A and B are shown apart, each in its own frame.
Chain A
Amino acid sequence: MEVIIAQFINGLSYGMLLFVLTCGLALVFGILGVLNLAHGSLYMIGSYVAYSITTTFTQSFWTALVVAPLVVAVIALIIERTLLRVTYRLGHLSQVLLTFGLAYVFHDLTKLIWGSNVLSIRVPDLLSGSVSLAGQTFPLYRLVIIGVGVVVAAGLWWLQNKTRWGAIIRAGLSDREMIGALGININFVFTAIFVLGGILAGFGGVVASPILGLYPDMEFQTLILALIVLVIGGLGSIAGTFTASVLVGLLETFGRYLFPELSMFLIFGLMAMILVWRPNGLLGKQVVEG
């Protein structure tokens, strides 16, 4: 019983981590219709910038938590303004390919700046303890991640459903031209959403790196996981992404515990099954075709 509880908490925290990594991608995909294959790269840049900050400049995890997402936001802003904007008239496929090319470029740039060693970020002292819960001790940081995931999910839900911004976003999702005709600067909305996606990717990078570590190719691993969550959850739905994250997190953790050799296949198997059962994902709507 204790083992099950422990695995459950671990799985939940891993799922929340996945949610933080995926929600930026889901937001950009759901609203702009841009499948950002450079999302993993933005996550990676967030991680590495946080590493530089925690080891060289200020030694503070908290500074990194604020500065790294901002750095990624600036990069996202530049990408959207200079490259992505040009491709909006070329169709969705061009955008996928463009961000794919960017992922290649960022891969080598990161290697150039930070080298290809395996690095890690230490958990800040304040969060490095452990907590006793139901007769079990858990690392505090994992519990905090669960909280962070819930807060981010609640925040995005609030933004999408309760604010004027959310109304604009939802309207833009169903009819882009109409919302432009209503006098809303849709270009600005697009930029803002893409930058927000970047901030979430960078934030995810900082939060996840004490657990997942930093290594070359990390962005591809992350991207694949994020895409799986996105496919399972369905397009344009924060709730779907949240459900899928928790599902994948739990399945991966229990799978790794019960059948260590099969853990990777379990997730892919889940995805294949869900796609056969519900081609648009668990809570997804009909996908926008480019």
Chain B
Amino acid sequence: MKNVYLQSAVVLLLFAAAPFFISSFHITLLTEILILAIFALSLNVLVGYTGMVSLGHAAFFGTGAYSAGIIAQHISANMLITLFGAVLCSIVLAGIIGLFCMKVNGFYFLMLTLAFSQMVYSFVYQSTGWTGGSNGLSGIPSPVLFGWEIPNIVWLFYVIAALFMMLYAGLRIVVGSPFGKVLVGIRENEKRLKSMGYNTYLYKYAAFVISGALGGVSGSLYTYFNGFIAPSDVYWTMSGTVLIMVLIGGSGTMIGPVLGAAMIVILETVIATYTDMWMLILGSIFILFVIFFPSGIYGIWQDIVSRFQKQHIHPEAAKINKERAS
């Protein structure tokens, strides 16, 4: 974290240069990783920063995806309109679900979010007129930006990469702000914050709605990317997969969910060439992480770094580093 501007410039340069050096297959893969990374980052606001483990985040992803698709089909394929519509729908949904979910904590929160997302799923599944039911929504026109139809995956990649960088920077500012610190405080000890006079209900509700809105953004990007939406994108295995991404990558950090999304997408692509037992392998890896590496990939990395630095720096600083890693 030495120089944020330098780092962003390097990432920007890498994104800009990527299509010139890697094949279009890998660009497709990279685009999918960025979309799912936004999804994982949005869940991380809840799981990592506020300490509310949701198992129903696919509801927002699916709402974003379906509303973007339906708006593109019936009103306009303009990306600004579809994105705005998708985010609006997700915010409304998160606002309603949040009202109920804020009443409960812990396990009950997990189960309630799960139940609500299944409710969205059964709605998507049953209202065949709008969503195509079990066949999914197909024939979505390709996205248009400022009157210019995005012609191929490379340009779509640029658009999504730009959006990703903006959202990442925005989220970084949010979690670093006093608001974000209050969320972390709620995660650590909600009672104490309450007694300090914070209205934790309002903070949690705000985190829930922000998280839902970002989930909607990633869903709508997924629609542009795929041009097709299946009800399985709203199913609870989707919620599970994104939760696994966050936890494998390292929850409560900014880079963790991105790493998790990248690892899961790459693994899935590699494994799919050998076997279709994808859930078996994902589940086993997840179990290993839960037992042995609870702080995720980023936690492992920090551990290695702090161990390496231990000989060079003051012992007190090493201790602080280690505490931060744990």
Contacts and interface: CB of A to CB of B under 8 A. Distances in A.
> Is the interface on chain A under 10, 10 to 19, 20 to 34, or 35 or more residues?
35 or more
A287 interface: yes
A131 interface: no
A109 B107 contact: no
B75 interface: no
Interface in B35-77: 53, 55
Contact of B280 (A108, A272, A276, A279): A108
B278 A231 contact: no
A135 interface: no
Contacts of A111: 277
A101 B100 contact: no
A224 B56 CA distance: 12
A90 B115 CA distance: 26
Nearest to A220: B236
A97 B294 CA distance: 11
Nearest to A272: B100
A87 B287 CA distance: 10
Given A83-B287, A231-B108, A105 B119 contact: no
A264 B294 CA distance: 36
A46 B53 CA distance: 29
B290 A101 contact: yes
A289 interface: yes
Nearest to B55: A100
A35 B126 contact: no
A104 B239 CA distance: 13
A108 B114 contact: no
B291 interface: yes
Contacts of A90: 290-291, 294
A175 interface: no
Contact of A107 (B114, B115, B279): B279
Interface in A249-290: 261, 264-265, 268, 271-272, 275-276, 279, 287, 289-290
Given A230-B111, A275-B112, A290-B106, A104 B240 contact: yes
Nearest to A104: B283
Most chain B C-beta atoms within 10 Å of own C-beta, residue among A90, A104, A112: A104
A70 to B, nearest CB: 24
Given A92-B107, A268-B115, A87 B277 contact: no
A268 B118 contact: yes
B115 A271 contact: yes
B280 A224 contact: no
B283 A101 contact: yes
A103 interface: yes
Contacts of B123: 265
A227 B287 contact: no
A171 interface: no
A93 interface: yes
A105 B279 contact: yes
A87 B108 contact: no
Interface in A112-147: 112
A65 interface: no
Interface string A31-60: 000010000000000000000000000000
Contacts of B2: none
B88 to A, nearest CB: 23
Contacts of A228: 111, 115
B279 A108 contact: yes
B279 A224 contact: no
A269 to B, nearest CB: 9
A103 B119 CA distance: 21
A100 B277 CA distance: 16
B247 interface: yes
B291 to A, nearest CB: 5
Contacts of A109: 280
Contact of B286 (A97, A227, A275, A279): A97
B105 interface: yes
A272 B103 CA distance: 10
Contacts of B110: 35, 96
A152 to B, nearest CB: 23
A98 interface: yes
A275 B100 contact: yes
Interface in B240-257: 240, 243-244, 247
Given A227-B111, A279-B104, A83 B279 contact: no
Interface of B: 53, 55, 100, 103-108, 110-112, 114-116, 118-119, 122-123, 126, 236-237, 240, 243-244, 247, 277-280, 282-284, 286-287, 290-291, 294
Given A224-B118, A275-B103, 17 more contacts: A87-B291, A96-B53, A97-B243, A104-B240, A104-B280, A105-B287, A107-B279, A107-B280, A109-B280, A220-B237, A227-B114, A228-B115, A264-B126, A271-B115, A272-B116, A275-B108, A287-B106
5 contacts: A94-B294, A97-B247, A104-B282, A107-B280, A272-B112
CB-CB nearest 7 A-B residue pairs: A104-B283, A108-B280, A105-B283, A101-B286, A101-B287, A264-B122, A104-B279
